[in-house]
Amino acid sequence: MLTDLKPQPADKILALMQAFREDPRENKIDLGVGVYKNAEGVTPVMRAVKAAEQRLVETQETKAYTGLAGDPAYAAAMRGLILSDSVDAGRVAAVATPGGTGAIRQGLELMQYADRAATIWLSAPTWPNHPSIVKYLGIPMREYRYLASDLPVVDFDGMMEDLKGVKAGDLVLLHGCCHNPTGANLTAEQWAVVADHLEATGAIPFIDIAYQGFGDGLEEDAYGVRLLAARMPEMIVAASCSKNFGVYRERTGLLMAIAPEQKSKAEAQATLNFLNRQNYSFPPDHGARVVQMILDDPELRADWQTELEDVRLGMLKLREQLARELRNRTNSDRFDFIAEHRGMFSRLGATPAQVEVLREKYGIYMIGDSRINIAGLNEATVPIVAQAIAVEIG
């Protein structure tokens, strides 16, 4: 059996990570991996996380399993953070998952379990794991335009033209904020148009919200998901705590399914529990318990929000600095969009060949589609990167 296995295509991001590690140059710069790093190149443990973990160590009396859905207090705390009072809690089924990726997978499993004929619509481009998991599960998939071909802005007309093809029961996957890989977000007015269209067609929104608090703020970044939750009879939400709580290795996620009423909510909850049982049985609890403790404790929550806001503002400052340096070096506004985008990512619009030149000649690593991680920069490296981009791309 094992001798008959076929080689799998290499993960491009993991391959890039390996190439960066093996590069002996001391001045190399990693803008590829989608992990937040501070100015020293470290993914820090947030103050509130350390404090909550200390309390947990001192007070936790058992390592017994949680329920199949995880700790209900965690689900309630996350529901409040993401949805606030936009929807009746009695309509929301939820399960803890191993990270946001686990939530995406369980959401797709739920879709498949309910209706194998339904199609899922993904933005072009999107996070590579979205189509990878969809194809692995054999779910029918279509794409809708998202980024304009000539400018790094949302092609909203093209998006809505493509979404005319959605049918009742189809799922439309939308990035809640800080679109990965482009950093280009929908406006409030555009979210409203999307909501109108989904209501009219009977399609179901599937929101991936992995960067709440990294864009315009905790409340602002939840605008789209709350608008849809308030208007749609059904919705799926996959959330990650990896970024905004910095608990990457704890694999802390949540899947929520919003049902039309409490009876169907109970059925959805039972199905989610069943799917968890078939996949990994009981979800991990450490990160979930830490997140719940932070969200439910006013002092810890205030400190977490302060540190998260520092992270957000730091990335905005780097965006503005990079856009300014590029404007000065290219004598054009070609790269001004970098300051307007939000979250960790933007795409430069470079060709794969130009990306390769930046890696080989300057030791600047980025994904082949020219997606850069803004958090991989600091004040000192921005001018270096800007000069290289100006010479090779601008």
Tens-binned pLDDT, residue by residue, of the chain (394 aa):
988 898 887 777 888 888 999 999 999 999 998 899 998 989 999 999 999 999 999 999 999 999 999 999 999 999 999 999 999 999 999 999 999 999 999 999 999 999 888 999 999 999 999 999 999 999 999 999 999 877 788 999 999 999 999 999 999 999 999 999 999 999 999 999 999 999 999 999 999 999 999 999 999 999 999 999 999 999 999 999 999 999 999 999 999 999 999 889 999 999 999 999 999 999 999 999 999 999 999 999 999 999 999 999 999 999 999 999 999 999 999 999 999 999 999 999 999 999 999 999 999 999 999 999 999 999 999 999 999 999 999 7
Q: Which of 144, 208, 148, 150 is nearest to 184 (CA)?
A: 148
Q: Look-up: residue for tokens 């300057």?
A: 362
Task: Tally the C-alpha atoms within 13 A of residue 74's C-alpha that lie toward its C-beta.
Answer: 27
Residue 52 structure tokens: 């909550």
Best CA proximity match to 135, nearest among 8, 47, 27: 8
What is the reported pLDDT for 149? Answer: 77
Q: Is 243 a catalytic residue?
A: yes
Q: How many residues appear in the chain?
A: 394
Q: Out of 51, 93, 94, 127, pick the active-site residue.
A: 127
Q: Is 127 among the residues known to form the active site? A: yes
77, 210, 268, 323: the catalytic one is 210
Give long-range contacts, CB 8 A cutoff, 24+ apart: 187-191.
188/223, 188/227, 190/154, 190/156, 191/223, 191/224, 191/227, 191/228
Residue 92, by phi and psi: left (phi above 0), alpha (psi -120 to 50) or beta?
Answer: beta
For residue 275, give the nearest of 63, 70, 64 by alpha carbon.
70
pLDDT digits (tens, 9 = 90+) for 8-55: 877 778 888 889 999 999 999 999 988 999 989 899 999 999 999 999
| Full set of structural domains in the chain with CATH | 10-45+305-392 (3.90.1150.10), 65-296 (3.40.640.10)
What DSSP state is assigned to residue 108? H
Tokens of 80: 């409040």
Please say if 167 is a catalytic residue.
no
Phi-psi region of 346 (alpha: psi -120 to 50; beta: other; left: phi over 0): beta
Q: What is the pTM of this model?
A: 0.95
Closest alpha carbon to 374 in 336, 317, 331, 335: 317
Element (H, E) at 386: helix 381-392
Phi, psi of 145 (to 5 degrees): -65, 140
Catalytic residue from among 162, 170, 208, 221: 208
Write down the residue that tokens 């719940």 correspond to: 292
Q: In the numeric block, which tokens belong to residue 53?
A: 């973990």
Helix and strand numbers, DSSP H then E, in the chain: 15, 11
184, 191, 243, 375: the active-site residue: 243
CA 83 to chain CA centroid, nearest Å: 16
